[in-house]
Amino acid sequence: MSTPTSPAPDSGVAGLVKSFISRRVPSKNPQPILDFTSHVNTLQRGYCGQDGNGKPQTYVPVAELARYWDRKKVQAICKAFSPEPLSISFDAVNPPRLRLFSILVYTDKIQHFKSFLEHNISDLHLPIIDVPTVFQSPVYQEAINGLLKYQWLFCPLVLECAYLSNVNLDARHILPFHDEEEIKKGDSAHVYRVKVDKTCDKLHKASPVPACFRCTEANIG
């Protein structure tokens, strides 16, 4: 009497289910993301400013992001996902969302970029302090946590006349200042002359007056 043969592991319904799952579950080639992460970790060493508490902090200017993200590299990020590559146009990234795109790549959450695009979130909304309601869903929790943590690295203060009036900066905002020189000391404030990193300075064309940073100190009685 012949012995019944066992069905092949991937035959029948089980095989169809496995085949379907293998087609639908995205896989990812991490190399383009690792390349950018390594580039940022090297690049930021050349840019050091200070946060609102006066502590040294490194940063990456948007000009460096513009130099890095060409069409080929953006496409490489999209094609890193299979079997369905991400659909992100270069014009949606450069220039309106260079920082946002970079943060999501750096935190390995670029698959959520389209959601930010659909809700018209761009670099103009960075840094984000109050998370939009639509992104408070658990689906976006890890992406938002990464964004809130690492956005400061990619969003140093840019000195520009149109955006410096009545601005309240978060203490985590990085000021691209160096070579401080104290020029006045008073009871409530110290005034310093500083050099501003040229990649973040749009004031020098509007005014020949050196930029100054005023550090206010509270009097405690």
Q: What are the pLDDT digits (tens) for 88-99?
A: 999 999 999 999
Cβ neighbours of residue 77 closer than 8 Å, sequence gap 6 or more:
32, 33, 36, 86, 88, 105, 110
Residue 56 binned pLDDT confidence (cut-offs 50, 70, 90): very high
Q: Which residue has the higher pLDDT, 2 or 124?
A: 124
Residue 218 has pLDDT above 50, yes or no: no
Express as a percent the part of the chain with pLDDT over 90.
60
Higher confidence at residue 179 or residue 100?
Answer: 100
Q: pLDDT digits over 140-173, tens only?
A: 999 999 999 999 999 999 988 777 777 788 999 9
Q: Which two tokens stand for residue 65?
A: 């992001």
Cis omega (within 30 of 0) for bond into 127: yes
Residue 220 has a pLDDT of: 40
